[in-house]
Chains A and B, each alone.
Chain A
């Protein structure tokens, strides 16, 4: 298996622009997680899905953030409009139980 795939790996955008991050989980995994990593706050769980249904989005920082999982093999995390404080590394992970398998991350820079 190719593991969890994320795209793009790097994204540089200007404040106010819409940003979409993409994730393809490991085939057969029924849980999908979005994490954000910053120097100040470390690794934070933003939202997670079970069988494509959002279960807990209490970690989503603001209404500017939204996540979808239209099918078992694809998820998006969208930020609209983006702000400089959104600059971080965003990780997607998938699992069938408590052990998570992480993707390589998307490094987002908002200028």
Chain B
């Protein structure tokens, strides 16, 4: 069965500093990979996705992520965080076969921004 691990439950970063959120997945083939963001009391917003091709993908709000097959990782990065980036971030994986079987989510990383 596929699984997603986000090893950091909480991360605190100073405003303006760089950010990297870690994500590792367990899946036998190349997966579809996603990062979602959830602000308090809100729904899930897609930041970016990887299906195939260039392993460095750009998303909204200045975020990017890099797929590394050898490390089974899909880490999320941002060069300079803003106070509005404080939220919960979820990594998710889907089967790369035909159709849609739903996403498997990591437990999430809570991002705190220090002024």
Contacts and interface: CB of A to CB of B under 8 A. Distances in A.
17 contacts: A31-B100, A33-B102, A42-B105, A43-B90, A45-B102, A48-B101, A50-B100, A91-B44, A98-B32, A98-B51, A99-B32, A99-B49, A100-B100, A100-B103, A102-B36, A105-B43, A107-B41
Instruction: Tell me which of A31, A43, A45, A95 has the highest count of chain B C-beta atoms within 10 A of its own C-beta.
Output: A43
Interface string A39-72: 0001101001010000110000000000000000
A31 B99 CA distance: 9
Interface size class, chain A: 20 to 34
Contacts, number: 49
The main secondary structure of chain A at its interface with chain B is strand
B86 to A, nearest CB: 18
Interface size class, chain B: 20 to 34
A56 B46 CA distance: 24
B105 A43 contact: yes
Nearest to A105: B43
A99 B34 contact: yes
Contacts of A25: none
A31 to B, nearest CB: 5
